[in-house]
Structure 1
Amino acid sequence: MYDVIIAGGGSMGIAAAYFRAKQGARVLVLDQFEIPNQMGSHHGMTRMLRLNYGHGSSYVPLALDSIKLWRELEAETGRELFRPTGAITIGPADSNFLKETIESAADHGIPHKVMNAKELRAKWRGFNIADDFIGCWDSSAGFLFSEDCITAYKDGAIKFGAEIHENEAVTALKSTEDGVTVETDKGTYQGKKVIVTAGAWLQKLLPEIDLHIQPVRKTISWFKPLEDNIYDGDFPCYVFDTKAHGLIYGFPDFDQHGIKIGSMENDLKCDPDELNRNYGAYNQDEGDVRAFLESYMPQADGELLEGKVCMFTRTPDDDFIIDVHPNDPNIILAGGFSGHGFKFASVIGSILADLSADGFTDKDISFFKLDRFNID
């Protein structure tokens, strides 16, 4: 019998495997695809890590723990996993997202600088900034190399003795007197505990409870700047909150990959098993971010270099789910990361490992509980 079986070896699952195996547990990871892969929510080369956080001040302590754990993983593996670039959040002065970003920094003593439009234009000429816009500069921010992070945790989990079964899909979970039986398309396994981190497939693995989550189709795009040396060098990661385009996020041009950009808006609800993975299948795939570039980053509005399709799994409030199954304390579940979860994979992996070992974590995850949706 395994101490813990992890159903889903993506961002959170493979991190949990690493931390639990490092504790000396017997760990099995099951994933229907290879780890990492292009099928879920962790591909696309990079993910932003910010400490000044527009999704709520409660996330800041977790972000601080996350960056510490990413740095420890870098030191352990000798790989570059996090590249500091800083990040700027920009929008009209009355933007609630921007207000929350500034307040979250102030509440937790995070270094930041509020900048007016003139200062923003002087600092980064690649932005076209309206006079009524302001920005919040986060010097501690940067981006993670997402697939490299997944690989580092996978290699570490194996080093500490975890078994990893790729291309093996979990089909059912059954509670028993002494644990949980996990059935797959290739076999049956017994675990004292099970951690379910199945991403967009989470609801399908737990049909007995309504998790109030919705997988949605999203795209990311890379564009070639029209001018050299304007979006590389010391150009930061960025988040814009605009009335016309909603929340837009992006990354600097590094190693001549082009600028990467995505939209948090215009979700297309989807079934993860029937997802249209062809970039360009919908006009909005390129059109939404192209329209933003025309207005706010015109020198980046060049040739489309690449586009990819991925998924978010949304909750009604865009906060995560991390909890114990309401009917079985041996099943721990995590999901609904709503497009802003990857940066936290390190700390969430450690939280899930502790929950499976001790039933307790010293991190505040109270706002991730299922009971906020009145689930019993």
Structure 2
Amino acid sequence: MKYDVVVVGAGSMGMAAGYFLARQGKKVLLMDAFDPPHHHASHHGETRIIRYAYGEGKEYVPLALRAKALWEELELHSGQSLFLQTGVLNMGEESSRFIQTLIASAEKYQLPLEILNAEQVHARFPGITLPENYIGCFESTSGVLRCEDCIAAYRDLALAHGAELLTYHPLQDIKADDQGVTLYSEDKIIRADKVIISAGAWATKLMSKLDFALPMQPNRKTFAWFEADEEIYGQTVFPAFSFDSPQGIYYGFPSIDGAGLKMGRHDGGERQDPDQEIAEYDTLTDSVDLERFLATVMPQTQGLMYGKTCMYSMTADEHFIIDTHPQHDNVIIAAGFSGHGFKFASVIGEILSDLAAKGATEHDISLFSLQRFR
């Protein structure tokens, strides 16, 4: 069997790419080691933040705004509610690079952003207590995506448009030449004109089969839900948030549907082999750091409810990788999205479909080139 495009790794970016390609009439195979959405990778955990003013770089704002439009389109076509407009509050020292870049990006693209001092943050959101030298940047138009529902919606629509999905088929080997790409699973040999590698934590191992060292290292990460007063931390009164400090970078969500306040830490983590089982959440050791943060910044929260683990795969500069293989232009690489990538899954799916179908995209992806590592 030969396909126009095979997508290896049908998670957030891969499933979206498969949908856009199938919608164009391409013969598409989505291939995954599990059955997406699933809990083995980086896309589980129910929710992800979407924000448009961007502390990681002003270059991300046009992509975030396009992603927003595409998420709205997905809601329309799927008939599902995928976005909760809780607003997002980014907190940090006023002089921090993240906060300054975020404010500059809002000014450049005329995004609605309220700048609040510590006292004003507490008055608006009584569940938060900030140090006096910290500010909050509140973006009311942003909020939360139901990540697993988003992937499931793209899956349903991709299949409806004729895409094929091959689950529980980890890729064993891959070979590329001028005539196309050959993929080997345990029991199948598959040919394609082009392949998209969007395998998250497994991308590094897969690219090594094409003699390419992808500059990423997967880490084990944790996140947890805590008991919280719905009148203070519920989704109708409390925003999603990030907290940038010299001691650590934290993020979190209001209590959605009564599930409790969810939060995690962006930096840190331990090296993780994606083929090895991730150690389960340890309620004693994994909660210490998060509980310390809550006691200081959100002291009205209560005890731990439960925690989960996932894998983070990031580059050293934390920017994504969206490019073609240096020796094989029929192999497209999409990797390094952990930490702040899910919100862009819709537009990255569109970009990957452009690269596979047309060899180029109108979106500016120069920031994500592999050339920066040379």
Same fold (TM over 0.5): yes
**Match of residue 108 from structure 1:** 109
- Specify the code of the residue in structure 2 equivalent to 1:95: S
- Specify the code of the residue in structure 1 equivalent to 2:242: V
**Could you say what secondary structure the match of 1:299 adopts?**
coil
**Mapped partners of 1:104, 1:312: distance in 2:** 26
- Specify the code of the residue in structure 1 equivalent to 2:157: G
The question of whether the paired residues in 1 share the 8 Å contact of 2:34 and 2:167 is answered with yes
- Residue 27 of structure 1 and its aligned partner are, at CA, apart by 0.2
Q: Does 1:131 align with 2:129?
A: no
**Match of residue 149 from structure 1:** 150
**Match of residue 313 from structure 1:** 313
Correspondences of 1:359-374 after superposition (within 5 Å)? 359-374=359-374
The question of whether the paired residues in 2 share the 8 Å contact of 1:324 and 1:332 is answered with yes
**Could you say what secondary structure the match of 1:229 adopts?**
helix
**Mapped partners of 2:111, 2:62: distance in 1:** 10
**Match of residue 220 from structure 1:** 223
The question of whether the paired residues in 1 share the 8 Å contact of 2:118 and 2:129 is answered with no
**Match of residue 258 from structure 1:** 260
**Deviating runs (4+, > 6 A) in structure 1?**
none
- Specify the code of the residue in structure 1 equivalent to 2:214: L
The question of whether the paired residues in 1 share the 8 Å contact of 2:15 and 2:30 is answered with yes
Q: Residues 123-149 of structure 1, C-alpha deviation per residue, up to 9 Å, x if partnerless? A: 000001121111111111100001000
- Residue 336 of structure 1 and its aligned partner are, at CA, apart by 0.9
**Match of residue 357 from structure 1:** 357
**Mapped partners of 2:9, 2:256: distance in 1:** 31
Greater alpha carbon shift after TM alignment, 114-123 vs 25-34: 114-123
Q: Residues 338-361 of structure 1, C-alpha deviation per residue, up to 9 Å, x if partnerless? A: 311100000000000010000010
- Specify the code of the residue in structure 2 equivalent to 1:352: L
Correspondences of 1:306-345 after superposition (within 5 Å)? 306-345=306-345
**Match of residue 3 from structure 2:** 2
- Specify the code of the residue in structure 2 equivalent to 1:105: A
Correspondences of 1:8-47 after superposition (within 5 Å)? 8-47=9-48
**Match of residue 195 from structure 2:** 194
- Residue 332 of structure 1 and its aligned partner are, at CA, apart by 0.4
- Specify the code of the residue in structure 2 equivalent to 1:259: L
**Mapped partners of 2:270, 2:99: distance in 1:** 25
- Residue 323 of structure 1 and its aligned partner are, at CA, apart by 0.2
TM-score by length of 2: 0.97
The question of whether the paired residues in 2 share the 8 Å contact of 1:217 and 1:275 is answered with no
Q: CA RMSD in A?
A: 1.1
**Match of residue 165 from structure 1:** 166
**Match of residue 241 from structure 2:** 238
- Residue 281 of structure 1 and its aligned partner are, at CA, apart by 7.6
- Residue 275 of structure 1 and its aligned partner are, at CA, apart by 4.1
Unaligned stretches of 5+ residues in structure 2: none
- Pick closer, same or farther for the CA change 1:281–1:121 going to 2, 3 Å: closer
The question of whether the paired residues in 2 share the 8 Å contact of 1:315 and 1:338 is answered with no
**Match of residue 87 from structure 1:** 88
**Match of residue 293 from structure 1:** 294
- Residue 175 of structure 1 and its aligned partner are, at CA, apart by 1.3
- Residue 282 of structure 1 and its aligned partner are, at CA, apart by 7.4
Q: Residues 20-59 of structure 1, C-alpha deviation per residue, up to 9 Å, x if partnerless? A: 0000000001100011100000000000000011111110
- Residue 228 of structure 1 and its aligned partner are, at CA, apart by 4.3
**Mapped partners of 2:51, 2:265: distance in 1:** 17
Greater alpha carbon shift after TM alignment, 110-119 vs 43-52: 110-119
**Mapped partners of 1:228, 1:333: distance in 2:** 42
- Specify the code of the residue in structure 2 equivalent to 1:253: S
**Match of residue 249 from structure 1:** 251
- Residue 243 of structure 1 and its aligned partner are, at CA, apart by 2.5
**Mapped partners of 1:277, 1:164: distance in 2:** 29
**Mapped partners of 1:177, 1:146: distance in 2:** 37
Q: Residues 86-119 of structure 1, C-alpha deviation per residue, up to 9 Å, x if partnerless? A: 1111112222111111111111111111111121
**Mapped partners of 2:22, 2:279: distance in 1:** 34
- Pick closer, same or farther for the CA change 1:238–1:281 going to 2, 3 Å: closer
**Could you say what secondary structure the match of 1:230 adopts?**
helix
**Mapped partners of 2:226, 2:284: distance in 1:** 18
Q: Residues 149-178 of structure 1, C-alpha deviation per residue, up to 9 Å, x if partnerless? A: 000000010000000011111111111332
- Specify the code of the residue in structure 2 equivalent to 1:237: A
**Mapped partners of 2:180, 2:230: distance in 1:** 59
The question of whether the paired residues in 1 share the 8 Å contact of 2:44 and 2:148 is answered with yes
- Specify the code of the residue in structure 2 equivalent to 1:92: E
Q: Residues 182-207 of structure 1, C-alpha deviation per residue, up to 9 Å, x if partnerless? A: 11122010000000001000011111
**Mapped partners of 2:230, 2:322: distance in 1:** 44
- 1:280 aligned to which of 275, 279, 282: 282
- Residue 78 of structure 1 and its aligned partner are, at CA, apart by 0.8
- Residue 279 of structure 1 and its aligned partner are, at CA, apart by 0.4
Q: Residues 314-372 of structure 1, C-alpha deviation per residue, up to 9 Å, x if partnerless? A: 10100000000101011001001131110000000000001000001000000100010
The question of whether the paired residues in 1 share the 8 Å contact of 2:216 and 2:336 is answered with yes
Aligned residues: 370
- Pick closer, same or farther for the CA change 1:326–1:106 going to 2, 3 Å: same
- Pick closer, same or farther for the CA change 1:93–1:204 going to 2, 3 Å: same
- Specify the code of the residue in structure 2 equivalent to 1:311: M
